[in-house]
Amino acid sequence: MSAVRWDLFCRVIDNLGDAGVCWRLAADLAARGEAVRLVIDDPSPLAHIAPDGAAGVEVLRWRDDVALPAEVDVVVEAFACDPPPRYVAQMAGCTRPPCWLNLEYLGTEARALRSHGLPSPQLEGPGRGLTKWWFQPGFGAGSGGLLREPGLLAARAAFERDAWLQSMGWPRAPGEQVAVLFSYAHPGIAQWLVALASRPTLLLVPQGPAQPLVRAALGPQLRQGALRALQLPWLTQSQFDRALWSADSSVVRGEDSLLRALWCGSPFVWQLYPQRDGAHQRKLQAFLEHWAAEAPLPRAASEWFVWWNTEAAGPPPRRPDAGAWRAAVLAWRDRLAQQADLTTQLIGFALAKR
């Protein structure tokens, strides 16, 4: 059976978010034998997160005159980015058009999940006569699932933290815990660092908005009390995953990093992109409700999620019991791992509509 051919369109808004999700999907599809063309308006983030590319993935810079190859079976637009009108018109002109999907942002609220699998007939414009299908990633039954490549959890289980940290030049001292901070700006970071400095801690800070905030709070030596921080260079996605695997706890931002922290199985906090209308607060609340419905989540852990997503935050709440927090993460991770992953569901959905 010949490979199914996919065109995946991506516009970069948050360069490590949109590009990161699309690259993981493209690479996962290709690893399963599919042929993928990633059409992206700004491929520069890929030089950091995937400098070696992936077999079976062709990267093409987005242009308005990009053409529809005759052999394409599935067209995915990530996050309602709308392929170029000329390309859509070519789809409409096909005797047997490719399956056209809109891959949405990760959904936590019920209203978002209700859109999964729904058709959107195109009644006007260059795609008139076509049907675009909504594909909604999510945590519960009835959603499109979550990105999780085959073998991920086995690789996590076999991971040797100290050997990897040593190989990267970031060895931890005896007795040090490891934390990862990959966040947006937050007014309470300095206070959070003070709390973290109460016990020996190696803090890994990947590239992003947190780096200058940590430098300002800790000074040029990047030390305070029992805390020492390392400001990391750009990491590939594989390296970022392993940094999370090395951590006893982590703070992550965005949807791709959320899922990687969840599959890691260690205590974590998710900081959502703040929105003026408070939509991020509603999304966070729905996320915590999903979690609580599947596995007990310590109240103190919920308070950390709320604190990291409150702009006018006061002092950090008391730190949750690490064992209970880890158990809650593992319980939900193991429940979610029983569901079909997003790529498996996406392939099945597209072929059924094709």
Alpha carbons 279 and 126: distance in angstroms, whole number: 32
Q: Which of 77, 104, 241, 255 is catalytic?
A: 255
* Rama region for 131: left / alpha / beta (φ>0; ψ in -120 to 50; rest): beta
Helix boundaries (H) for the chain: 18-31, 46-49, 85-92, 110-113, 152-157, 161-168, 189-196, 210-218, 237-246, 255-264, 279-294, 299-308, 322-336, 342-353
Q: Which two tokens stand for residue 228?
A: 């020492």
**What does the alpha-carbon distance between residue 177 and residue 229 come to, in Å, rounded to a whole number?**
12
Side-chain-side CA neighbours of 168 within 13 Å: the count stands at 23
Give yes or no for a contact between 117 and 134, defined as CB atoms under 8 angstroms apart: yes
Q: How far apart are CA 309 and CA 303, in angstroms?
A: 10
Pairing label, strands 201-205, 177-181:
parallel
Cα–Cα nearest to 49, from 78, 17, 74, 81: 17
CA dihedral (294, 102, 282, 180) in degrees, to 10, reads 70
Alpha-carbon separation of residue 343 from 50, 73, 116, 148, 349 (angstroms) = 19, 16, 15, 8, 10
Active site residue 124: no
User: Pick the catalytic residue: 7, 18, 77, 241?
Assistant: 18
Structure token digits, residue 300? 């103190």
To the query of whether residue 104 is one of the catalytic residues in this protein, the response is no
Write out the catalytic residue numbers.
Answer: 18, 255
